[in-house]
Amino acid sequence: MSANIKNMLNEIDALKTSLAEESSLNEGELRRFRENFMVAYTYDSNAIEGSTLTLSETALVLLEGLTINKKPLRDHLDAIGHKDAFNYIVAKSKDVEPLTERTIKEIHALVFMADSINKGKYREVDIKIMGALDTPPSAFLVQEKLSQLLDSYNADERHPVEKIADFHILFEFIHPFIDGNGRTGRLILNLELIKAGYLPINVKFKDRELYVSCFKDYHLTGKTDKFVEMVAKYELEELTEMNQISNSKKDLINGKSLK
């Protein structure tokens, strides 16, 4: 791990502690921030996979229940499925149990709700990913590879951000489902971040090329440092923003109390 990553992880933990001990935000405010995050996160995660819905259209679909004229039904269902999956991981994060295959399949079933045949079910055919340097393992090896990855992950005692980022790269290499692996993988990443006391992150569509390059870097070097740094940067941004919002509210309250 580079010195830069170590410094970022130390800063992340300091901000995490500060937010846990001194946050001035009430449950209603936190729920509103979570809703806003969910909309942006759903837009970006689905856009990475080819959805044509804009951010504002995604908000209309998820918050108002509207359909967007001339936009594919599949894009609407993908947005709704991702919202349901995000709400699922927020609720699931309260469990103390280690990550399991069952949880992964349940997340995928929500993400892939439009496909009644393949949702929550490991792929049964070998696949190639266009533009990828690696070929995922054969279908008959998927369950074994994922089980091994989970055992290794759940026994990993490294910093949570480091091991979660590492898991994501390896999960995507296995590519256990016929489709929906990216969205499912990013939801698992956030489930594990929230369980560890961190904030969920949003891998943004504008950063798609950087995100893809992290997988290529792993193929070439065998290291996940580039993605660890990407996740740490996002986490640092989320924690910094939330601490700033909390501190601004404190200043407002203190200012009023002096009048």
Q: Which residues are within 8 A (CB) of 77 and not within 5 positions of it... i.e. 6 or more apart?
A: 113, 114
Tens of pLDDT, residues 7-47: 999 999 999 999 988 788 888 888 899 999 999 999 999 99
Element (H, E) at 129: none
pLDDT value at position 21?
83
pTM across the whole model: 0.94
56, 69, 73, 78 from 66: Cα distances, Å: 11, 10, 12, 14
Q: What's the rounded Cα separation, in Å, for the pair 214 and 99?
A: 23
pLDDT value at position 132?
66
pLDDT value at position 134?
78
Q: Are 89 and 190 in contact (CB under 8 A)?
A: yes
H-type helices in 155-224, by residue range? 160-174, 181-195, 208-221
Structure tokens at 96: 């103390």
If you search the block for the tokens 């469990």, which residue do you land on? 95
Task: Give all domains of the chain, ordered by start, each with its CATH number.
Answer: 24-243 (1.10.3290.10)
pLDDT value at position 67?
95
pLDDT value at position 256?
59
Residues of the chain falling short of pLDDT 50: 258-259
Question: DSSP 3-state assignment of 85?
Answer: helix
pLDDT value at position 57?
98
Q: Nearest-CA neighbor of 178 among 119, 105, 134, 101?
A: 119
Q: Are 18 and 30 in contact (CB under 8 A)?
A: no
